[in-house]
Structure 1
Amino acid sequence: MMKGRHIAPLLMISSAFAAGGASAQDHGAHDHGAHKKAPVAAQCLGLPVEKIAIQTYVFASTLADIPVPAEWDTLPVAEKFERLKPSFAKLAGAKPDPTKLEAVLKQIAAIGYRNIEGMDLIGGSDPAGYAKLLKDNGLQAVASHANLDKDKWPATLAAAKARGQRFIGSGGFGGPGLDTLDHVLETARNLNALGEAAAAEGLTLYVHNHTGEFDNRFPYDHGDGKPVMTSAWEIVAANTDPRFVQFEVDIFWARLAFKPDRFDDLLAFLTKYRSRIALLHMKDLSATGSVTDMGAGTTDWRRVIEAAGPQIAYYIYEYDFPSDPAKSAKIGFDYLSCGGQKQAGG
C-alpha cells in the first residue's frame, strides 16, 4: 500500500500519488454514491474575485513540457499519475523558460484571476523578479507550496515576503511523517516551530492534505484517558497552536479519504475544524474517480462552502495535470466567480 508513505513536499504530484494513489485507485473502481450528478452543475457560485486564486501547478505540464493526452482527463487519478510518473523528473528543480512563464501568467490574468498560489518548484528562482512579473500582469501571490526544510526555512520565509504573500505552506505535512503516532507528534512539533518562525515574519504557515493524513489513524487520548482511533490530520491539529499552524483542505483528496458516498461526514469535519481551515483547494471529483472541471463533478460546492465557514481566506482552483490547462482554468474561474460577475457587469 502506498498511501502511508511519507509525502515529499518537493514534488507535489509525486507526493499526491504516494500518499493517496492506492486509495484513489480503489475508489475509482466503485460507485460514488448519492452525489453521482453535480447537484448544481449548471450554476456558478458567485464567489468574490478577490477571494479566488489559482494554484500555478495547474500549468505545470505547460511549463515543464509534459504532454497530457485528452483521454487521460477521465482516468481515475491513481491511473493518471501512474502514466505521468516517467515525466515527474521534469518537475524536480524545473526552471521554466522566462518567456513561457510570462505567457502563462498573462493567460491566468486574462482569464480573470487576480491571485495565485505558487509552488517553488516552478515559481522562479528570483523572488523579487518573480513578484515584479506578477505585478506587471496584475497578479498577487497570496500563498505558495514550499519545502518544509528547517535549515532553508529562513530563506523560504524571505522569498515569500519578497513575493508579498500572506500564507506560506507545503503540499504535505513535512517530516518525519505520519506513519506512526510518534512521528505524527514529532511532525506536529516541527510544524509548530516552523509556524512560530513564520508568524514572527508576519506570515501564516499552512499544510495541505492528500488522503494519507486521514487514512492513517492511531489510538489517541483526547484527554479523558480513553484512547480512540484518530486520524493523523486531527492529531496534528490537536498538537499545533492555531496561531502558528493552519490548514488548506483539498476537497478532492478529502472526499476520497472520507469516501465519496459519505459526503455528510466531510461536511461535519469541515464544520468542526473551520477555525483551523484557512484555505480550500477547489478541485472536483467525477463519478469515476478522476479530477474533473468545476461543476462537472459530484461535489455539492455550496454545501462545502457553507460547512467550511466564512473565515476562508482564499478558494484556490486546482486541477492535477489537465490536458488543456488554460481551458480548465477558465472553466474553474467562471464557475467559482460566475465569470467575475461577467467582469463586474461588463
Structure 2
Amino acid sequence: MCGRPNHYSRRTVLGAATAALATVALPGAADAAAARRRIPLDRISIQLYSLRSLLQNDPEGTLSALADIGYRKVELAGTYGRSATEFRAILDRCHLRASSTHIGIDGDLDRTIADAKILGNTRAVVPWAQFATIAEWEAFAAKMNTAAIAFRRAGIPLGYHNHAHEFAPIDGVRPYDVLTAKTSKRDVHLEIDLFWAVTGGADPVELFRRHFPRVVQYHVKDMTADGAMTDPGTGVIDFPRIFAASCSTLREYIVEHDEPADPLHTAQVGFDYLRTVRF
C-alpha cells in the first residue's frame, strides 16, 4: 500500500482566553500580515496522536493516506503495538520520516533511546508532567537534565511539550518558569503547544522571545471563540503573527488535534493551512 513514492482529555481553561486576546485574530489581522514568507514543506509534520484511532488497526493505510496528503514527516506518540523495527519499516514503505517522538523518561532510558535511533528520530520530547508543588517541578527539571544528557550523547536532542497547567501559578510561581529556568538551555529545547499556551493565558510570541533560541517546534492546533479545540486555520489564534515572530529558528510546525471527529480530515485541513499560510 505504501510502496509508491511520496507526493510531496480536553482541559480547556475558558477564563484564560480573555488573557490571551493578544494572540487571537482581529478583523484585518490576516491582511496586515505581509504575505512574504511561507513554511517549507520539509518543516511541516503531524502528531500521530491525532490519528491514534486509525493507527491502532491500520497503521500502513493511515500513514499511506498521510503521504498522499503531502506529509513527509510525522511525530510519534508510540508505535501502536509494533516494535520500533516494525514501525520503521512501515514508515519507510510510506516514504515518511519520524523526525520527532514523544517519549517518557521514567522507564528504561537506554531502551527508549535505542528505539528512537531505530525509528530515525532526530528529536525527542517529553509530552506531559504535572506536580502539585514547585519543589516537585524542580526535581522534575533535574530529571530532565539527566535524561537530556543521555539523549544528547545519542545525537537526539530532548525537549518538553507544554499543556495549560504549566502556566497556572503555584504559590505565585509558574511551573513553566521553573522548568525553563532549571533545565539546561543547551540540552533541553521547547516544543510549544500553541493551543494549550493560549488556553493557559500565555502569549506564544512572548514565550518564543523570552526563551530564544530554545523554541524549535510548534504544535499547531486552533481555538474557537469559546475556547474549544479546532483544526488549524479554522479558529481564532493568530498564527501569522506567531509564525512571523518566530520563523527564524522554528524547525517543525506540527499539526495536531487531541480529539478530532475525522482524523484524516484534520490532517488534510492542517496540511493545507500550513502550506498556504503567509506571514
TM range (shorter): 0.7 to 0.9
Q: Say which of 165, 186, 202 aligns to 2:121.
A: 165
Give the whole-Å Cα distance in 1 for the aligned partners of 2:251 and 2:229: 23
- Are residue 308 (structure 1) and residue 266 (structure 2) matched? no
Give the TM-score taking structure 1 as reference length.
0.70
Structure 2 CA distance for aligned equivalents of residues 238 and 33 of structure 1 = 26
Pairwise CA distance, 1:273: 1.2
What value does the CA root-mean-square deviation take over the aligned residues? Answer: 2.4
Among all aligned residue pairs of Structure 1 and Structure 2, give the percentage whose two residues are the same amino acid: 28
What's the offset of the Cα at 1:62? 2.7
Change (3 A) 1:311 1:215: same
1:56-135 matched pairs, under 5 angstroms: 56-63=48-55, 96-97=56-57, 100-120=58-78, 122-135=79-92
Structure 2 length as normaliser, TM-score? 0.86
State the shift of 1:309 in Å.
4.1
Distance in 1, matches of 2:149 and 2:140, equals 14
CA shift, 1:26, in A, is 4.3
Q: Structure 2: state its 5+ residue gaps.
A: 1-8
> Quick one: structure 1 residues 138 and 124, their matched pair in 2 at CA, closer, same or farther if it must change by over 3 Å?
farther
Q: Does 1:155 align with 2:117?
A: no
- How far apart are the structure 1 equivalents of 2:147 and 2:262? 36
Give the counterpart of 1:193 among 143, 146, 151.
146
Deviation >6 Å, runs of 4+: none
Instruction: Please list, as runs of the form range in 1=range in 2, the aligned pairs for 1:128-147 lying within 5 A after superposition.
Output: 128-147=85-104
Shift of the alpha carbon at 1:304? 0.7
* Partners of 1:115 and 1:141 within 8 A in 2: yes
1:338 Cα shift?
2.5
Structure 2 CA distance for partners of 1:309 and 1:32, relative to 1, 3 Å: closer
Aligned-pair CA distance for 1:32? 7.5
Determine the C-alpha separation between the residues in 2 that align with 1:293 and 1:184: 31
Match of 1:257 among 177, 191, 200: 200
How far apart are the structure 2 equivalents of 1:181 and 1:288?
Answer: 31
Matched, 1:283 2:240: no
Range with bigger deviation, 45-54 or 191-200 = 45-54
Tell me which of 116, 127, 133 is aligned to 1:180.
Answer: 133
Q: Which residue of 2 aligns with 1:235?
A: 178
**Deviation (angstroms), 1:33:** 4.5
| Partner Cα separation in structure 2 for residue 60 and residue 235 of structure 1 | 32
Which residue is 2:189 aligned to?
246
> When you count helix as a share of all residues, which structure comes out higher?
1
Kindly state the Cα deviation for residue 231 of structure 1 after the two structures are TM-superposed.
1.5
Once residues 145 and 334 of structure 1 are traced to their aligned partners in structure 2, the CA distance between those partners, rounded to angstroms, is: 24
- Which of 156, 164, 169 in structure 2 is aligned with 1:216? 169
Q: Deviations over 1:256-293 (max 9, x none)?
A: 1116xxxxx44222211131112110111110111112
SS of the residue corresponding to residue 315 of structure 1 reads strand
Structure 1's unaligned 5+ residue stretches are 1-13, 64-95, 219-228, 260-264, 340-346
Q: 2:215 and 2:20 mapped to 1: Cα distance?
A: 26
**Matched letter for residue 152 of structure 1:** D
2:201 and 2:19 map into 1 onto residues whose CA distance is 14
Task: Give distance in 1, aligned partners of 2:111 and 2:142.
Answer: 20
3-state SS of the aligned residue for 1:274?
coil
* 3-state SS of paired residue (1:172): coil
